[in-house]
Amino acid sequence: MTVFIIRRLMQSVLVVFVMSFLVFSGVNLVGDPVEMMVNDEADQAERERVIKAMGLDKPWYVQYGLFVGKAVQGELGKSFTYGEESLGIIVERMPATFELALAALLMAIVIGIPLGVFAGLKPEARTSKVIMAGSILGFSLPTFWVGLMFIMVFAVMLGWLPSTGRGDTVDVGGIPLSFLTIDGLSHLFLPALNLALFKISLVIRLARAGTREIVHQDYIKFARAKGLSTNRVVLVHLMKNIMIPVVTVLGLEFGGLIAFSVVTETVFAWPGMGKLIIDSIQNLDRPVIVAYLMIIVLVFVIINLVVDVLYSVLDPRVRLQDVKA
């Protein structure tokens, strides 16, 4: 296991380095942040002063070398817009995004797995057909439209839930968490459900497919022949085996929830990393954009490593040292 983890970490360093080069080069080819920072009436001398202050007077490869040198020391540059360390700005927004992604993942597990198992055990039941039809809607409806409909129905028409913001938070170890307060939960519910709809549909289909495949296996038939209750057969024998693909897919999808929560955070004005990156792209705030993408790459790398380890734990046939990086 140690050899595998070391090998994977070395590959991860290479991935992060290549990604940093591609991202930094691509961002530097798009737009001119100076035009966003200076007044339209500024003269050429003022523009040159701003360019020099921002370090944009150097060639891009020199800028990249300086960026890598500072990144090794934990510095990813200062934001052009905020005038603060870009890493600090992102870390400040990170708890909100992670909380939203974890809430969406929990909804996908709690709702999707039971519905998928039920649909797999009773495929001809009318309820199962309704569940599968609903999963198609979850795949088909665009996230921004569903979010707007949630706001219209639950916030505007019914007035049950707030439409924007994060609500009251509680600091735990310096990390603000909203799910620990009633007001925070009410603010969290709609954006988390909106972000989770696609994942719920995915889990339903994964669980149903796994159930239909495993329910006809010999060990399931043998367990039933021994007189074990249906609940024990499902919870002990069936669930453990269908969780192998579900855990693998959900682990990878969790990275997607973090990286692609931009639309949901924008619709619900959720103060997370997604909304920050949208504002940074509009302002051509290059250090924040690059730092955000670097953090997302690291998140995906770590999640992939954790998923490989969990997969080997769930499936004893898989030997960790044989897993391909």
Q: Delimit the domains of the chain by residue range.
A: 86-322
- The CA distance from 132 to 139, in Å, is 11
> Residue 325 — pLDDT band, cuts 50, 70, 90?
very low
Average pLDDT over residues 68-93: 79
Q: Report which of residues 281 and 8 the model is more confident about.
A: 281
Average of per-residue pLDDT across 116-120: 87
| pLDDT tens-place string over residues 204-244 | 988 888 888 887 777 777 777 877 777 777 777 777 778 77
Flag whether pLDDT at 323 surpasses 50. no
- pLDDT category at 320 given cuts 50, 70, 90 is very low
If DSSP states are collapsed to H, E and C, what string results for the chain?
Answer: CHHHHHHHHHHHHHHHHHHHHHHHHHHHCCCCHHHHHCCCCCCHHHHHHHHHHCCCCCCHHHHHHHHHHHHHCCCCCECCCCCCEHHHHHHHHHHHHHHHHHHHHHHHHHHHHHHHHHHHHCCCCHHHHHHHHHHHHHHHCCHHHHHHHHHHHHHHHCCCCCCCCCCCCEEECCEEECCCCHHHHHHHHHHHHHHHHHHHHHHHHHHHHHHHHHCCCHHHHHHHHCCCCHHHHHHHHHHHHHHHHHHHHHHHHHHHHHHCCHHHHHHCCCCCHHHHHHHHHHCCCHHHHHHHHHHHHHHHHHHHHHHHHHHHHHCCCCCHHHCCC
| pLDDT greater at residue 44 or residue 15 | 15
User: Regarding the domain delimited by 86-322, which CATH topology (the fold level of the hierarchy) does it fall under?
Assistant: MetI-like fold (1.10.3720)
| pLDDT-based confidence at residue 315 (cuts at 50, 70, 90) | low
Task: State the pLDDT confidence band at 138, using cuts at 50, 70 and 90.
Answer: confident
Q: In the structure, what pLDDT confidence band is assigned to residue 285 with cuts at 50, 70 and 90?
A: confident
**What is the mean pLDDT of the segment spanning 25-34?**
67
Segment 187-215 mean pLDDT: 88
Query: What pLDDT band is residue 106 in, cutting at 50, 70 and 90?
Result: very high
Range name among 61-70, 174-183, 312-321 with the lowest pLDDT average: 312-321
Least confident of 70-74, 186-190, 211-215: 70-74
